[in-house]
Structure 1
């Protein structure tokens, strides 16, 4: 550790540091404990390489700097321009010193903007030499009355025209009327873990529909926050983690309920019997309290879905399917083709002989396999359509019974490095780096999430279309979207290939544009955005979220300062509050030190076990003290906790209820007495992450039919509705 808190002038003057900063790479950072770090040169060189920039020699660095400046001043206008509705803004225009520029705007609906556009010289602006000529900077004013939308800005001179994506977004997402003077509460669920007697061993979209309607009718909840349901692999083995999808653009079709497909009812008695037999082969998994078996489920369910698909569909349904395919366009072809290749050629692997390494979307072999298996290709398109239909039906059912929000969808940070998004559109991602987190007090060795980061250069070049489409799609299926690790819209911790999580650096993104897209899509959908802003978060992030009407997160176990828990009455109103998160054990487990036991057993501590146990005990006592001081818990519990576990859990939720937060979420695992953690960060198969079924305090499965009649759950319902 060094006493120096900023980089020296000598360091800032170095060409490598200048180059890194030109491309928004952080060359130093402050850790969670206010410890200052400067990024090593080799890390910066590797991250620049991941962006396609050679910085391997002093000469290469100088050439890269010159090239970036030349490209910047050679364009008439930046490829992406951001504007806020109701405010005038300015954008730089780069033209030859003798040129006279003009500008026009084509609105999102294809009509021309009829207002006046003014371009004025910038007094005192320096002219830049570009390819033997001189370029001057002028300034174009974007008027305040430009409507919200994704427009196209045209800038012309006598000999050329360049276009820019003009993103015009509202300044702030309006609160729902029901949240203006009040708060709403709901549930947190790992969808796959909550089965009904009719499930195929894993919770599905029909279970979600039933969960939503029962949550409103039997607990008066207004939303259910579910794990990400982004697209996954087409065949087993399936990746357990919902936070490592193969595509964030599409829905995970393994959550389909076969019996809820309209075409199922047109099956012959014999074919229906085959589907029932497949269902019965995996139905016993519904009462397995130990592990979720996705692979067994999908082996049976996929065969049932193939039977239903092959029966065909009526004219109306065919027209609906055709419209869906047309609306999704090339993005659906990307995912369906990847699924087909995976199906016929096997799982992607990172070796030279594997199809995903050898071939790309334009390879003759890929074109041939599409032609060879047209029915299978259509099957994967169809699966995606059915999955989307069933997810939307669940959201519609929630609204019909009066839920103010319904589904709160969760957006993962990124995608699988060998998934369809990366394979079909590799230019969208940095090559040779993954996303993670530097060491902090909760993950003392840092984290590598193995996901390739979106390339910020490509985002700007394409008008952020990848991000826009993803956000838009999520709001078609949900009333709210939670952005996992929303700090990633500001900066992401990039880890060069072959290095440890500690040897990374922050790469910064244009958060104004990305938050603006969220504001635009949420406002159009009448939805809510929640940003998971836990961990090492710069002070400006929370303010930026509030300014845009985006709620942050307040987790009771994290709301502490210097070992003292902050009373809930002092929590920020613009937040989704909860007792815990999916990265912590449920309340019952946390109170019995399950997090200590797991980390000791798996060797995940960056300090001695004795020291960690001691800090966990101190934290435990500090929490109880706060609950007693604020009147949520009987002070006698401080001297004797035996037999008072439920009282403490009730107190945690009474504190949650007392917060001013606009949204409050109760975890189903807390409501039924589950002890086991759903996920342990920093592990893969060392711990059965994302494979824990919902069970009660005695280890008995809790089925969906019995969930809302659970006595412990109803105790928490009474607290939240008081």
Structure 2
């Protein structure tokens, strides 16, 4: 009982439910190791008793929790007094130092004098009770809800690296993203483009191509840069200019190897070329205005950027796994690290410059989306965690739980559970820091986002921790202060004017979706999973879908719609030896599932082409999604061409080319952005969606009826069926 009570005090679960009505106890050894990662010794009965005594004494003197949350309106002061403040003893003196620099004081129980003056923000609250006890905590004053998109909208979902153009160097880049946003916003009337995480990867040979296991979530990866769009590129002279042209030609060859020869995207080869090009461009002096802008960026980003660039520079010398560096360099604040930093200033400046250049091109892509009339814009993606040996864990080591990895517990779909190899944040350290690492992360990724998708959004509430060396079945849940996590999220989203989308697929504990909805966070609904699971089990009628979600036909981890309709995904898993049951059994079950959905589509009159028409079936799926009340509908861009291949096949490593496939047509032939833009199949699919009836840049207060006719149907010029690639 002592260990269970100690675990509960620190948010560590001692049992979990892999399925409804089934409870599984967590092994004591797991609980002990997880508590140790939280700085609590529970290794012996005596240690448990001592830890409980310390916890009880701390609780007895606790006036307030480490973070107090006040929910208010979107503007102005806090609207609701937190219960924690309402319960303070009479005469308690309260002082708030706001993040804006103001000082506000009042006394309990009369909170009206100071409470109404509090602005939105993350403040420091000091409470002094009669008798001398004083406590300082974080006070988060957040809007009641994150922003929501206006009206209904639809847009593209795409893995950026997979969409090459005639100007990219072997993989899609930020220039391609701006081009895609401009074309699809102006020409098709779509409201958003959602991309994969663009976080900085861990360098290496080979580099892990997964965008969901980055070195840093705080800074983007310069591999996404369009080299020719860097202003200094145009001013290179002599041998530097000549070498840049040679590198550009090699980049063209990489592009042609993917689009014309059908080879895989080779991120490492792309980065080798871009890195040399960036080294050359770095030699070109910045003009006075550019230098001033760069200095402003350095000042704005501060220590976070300095640490990131220092890690990048040290990784060039000692390798990308900082745990293997000389012991003194494993601490970013050690004197040895300071001396090393001083000796590597040129390299630190280089990596800082890359962060600035990437930030500029991210901003340009966001502007392109807005100027194209997109109501939402670019939807960026926040991975659930970071690589254990990367820049973030080095710079913020205390904030991560050593010896732990996050994953998923065993359930009806995966009896072995999952270990994602990503260290979790310590909830206690986050709270004690006023959620500074989390706030900095959100502010960075929201800088140029119209909306933010949060991978595994359930992690704001709890995460499955797996002790190092143990199978995922021997983990347990650790709880976070969801109220504080959501408050910081709503605050930063409000400041950025960005909507928030949570990936809430899989095991979701009761109450989580309701809490997210209350705070304005949209969910994710995938057609094939939307069934009446509490009743008949049949496909959920469109009118019964939730409004607060992004409705999609698939994701990067799931089969494309063409593969689902044809059963191609079953054949693929069979070829790779991934089926847990006989092939015929899987085929029969999958076919029945698809037939049920096709029958539903036909009954609703959404399948005029007939059940045997593959293209018609894809269009019918999206017609169905438009019948739902979902406020956003996501179009998986490869669906527009009939691509049958998933971008990622969970459960594989070398068996399948995860994260290395270009967008392709139904025959598996790679298709570049120019050809995609002229695709009759894509335009036929987009005919399913309502046209925009106002031109880009129209004033929101101008009635659409008074505007000149304009729709996406108006062609500008005939496009070639297959553009020439150079």
Residue 88 of structure 1: aligned partner: 81
Q: Find the partner of 1:309 among 261, 279, 282.
A: 282
2:104 aligned counterpart, secondary structure: coil
Give the alignment of 1:489-504 within 5 angstroms.
489-504=460-475
1:314-393 correspondence to structure 2 within 5 Å: 314-348=287-321, 353-355=324-326, 359-393=330-364
Asked if 1:19 is matched to 2:6, the reply is: yes
1:441 deviation in Å?
Answer: 4.6
Matched residue SS, 1:449: strand
Comparing 384-393 and 262-271, the one that deviates more:
262-271
Quick one: structure 1 residues 212 and 635, their matched pair in 2 at CA, closer, same or farther if it must change by over 3 Å? Answer: closer
* Deviation digits for residues 374-402 of structure 1 (CA, Å, limit 9, x no counterpart): 21110001000100110011101111121
Q: CA deviation at 1:486?
A: 0.5
**Greater mean alpha carbon deviation, residues 473-482 or residues 340-349:** 340-349
CA shift digits 1:473-520 (9 cap, x unpaired): 222111100111110001111111111122221111111111111211
- 1:698 equivalent to 2:688? Answer no
Q: What's the CA shift for 1:257?
A: 1.1
Measure how far apart 1:142 and its partner are.
Answer: 7.9
Q: Which residues in structure 2 correspond to 1:53-92 (within 5 Å)?
A: 53-85=40-72, 86-91=79-84
Distance 1:521 1:618, change over 3 A: same
Tell me the distance in 2 between the aligned counterparts of 1:203 and 1:36: 46
> Separation in 2 of the partners of 1:65 and 1:684?
44
Contact 1:87 1:143 in 2 (8 A): no
Contact 2:203–2:320 (8 Å) recurs in 1: no
Question: 1:41 and 2:15 equivalent?
Answer: no
Indicate conservation of the 8 Å contact 1:341/1:366, yes or no.
Answer: no
Cα distance, 1:451 vs structure 2: 0.4
Q: Distance in 1 between matches of 2:459 and 2:585?
A: 32
- The DSSP-based 3-state class of the residue aligned with 2:525 is strand
Matched, 1:118 2:108: yes
Residue 473 of structure 2 aligns to a residue whose secondary structure is: coil
Displacement after TM superposition at 1:634 (Å) = 4.7
Please report how far the alpha carbon of residue 175 of structure 1 lies from its aligned counterpart in structure 2 after TM superposition.
3.0
Cα deviation digits, residues 612-643 of structure 1 (max 9, x gap): 44432322222222212222125952xxx3xx
Any stretches of 5+ residues in structure 1 without a counterpart?
A: 1-13, 121-138
Structure 1 position 586 matched with structure 2 position 555: no
Structure 1 residue 370, shift from structure 2 partner: 2.0
Q: Match for residue 163 of structure 2?
A: 194
Aligned residue number for residue 214 of structure 2? 245
Structure 1 residue 290: Cα displacement: 3.6
Paired residues, what number?
A: 677
**Any conservation in 1 of the 2:92–2:108 contact (CA below 8 Å)?**
no
- Aligned partners of 2:338 and 2:322: how far apart in 1? 20
**Alpha-carbon separation, structure 1, partners of 2:62 and 2:85:** 10
Question: Post-superposition shift, 1:55?
Answer: 1.5
2:184 — aligned with what?
Answer: 215
**Does residue 156 of structure 2 align to residue 156 of structure 1?**
no
> Which residue of structure 1 lines up, in the alignment, with residue 408 of structure 2?
437
Residues 41-85 of structure 1, C-alpha deviations (whole Å, 9 max, x = no match)? 222122112212121211111111112222333455433211112
Distance change >3 Å, CA 668–CA 34, structure 1 → 2: farther
Q: Which residue of 1 aligns with 2:516?
A: 545
Q: How far apart, in 1, do the equivalents of 2:17 and 2:496 lie? A: 37
Structure 2 gap ranges (5+): 73-78, 692-726
Q: Aligned to 1:266, which of 235, 238, 243?
A: 235
Residue 574 (str. 1) matches residue 548 (str. 2): yes
Question: Is contact 2:68–2:138 with CA below 8 Å preserved after alignment?
Answer: yes
CA distance in 1, matches of 2:276, 2:482: 44
1:295-345 deviation per Cα after TM superposition (whole angstroms, max 9, x unaligned): 100101100001111112011111111111111111111111110111122
Cα deviation code 1:403-425 (max 9, x no counterpart): 11110011110111111111122
Q: How many Å apart are 1:144 and its aligned residue?
A: 5.3
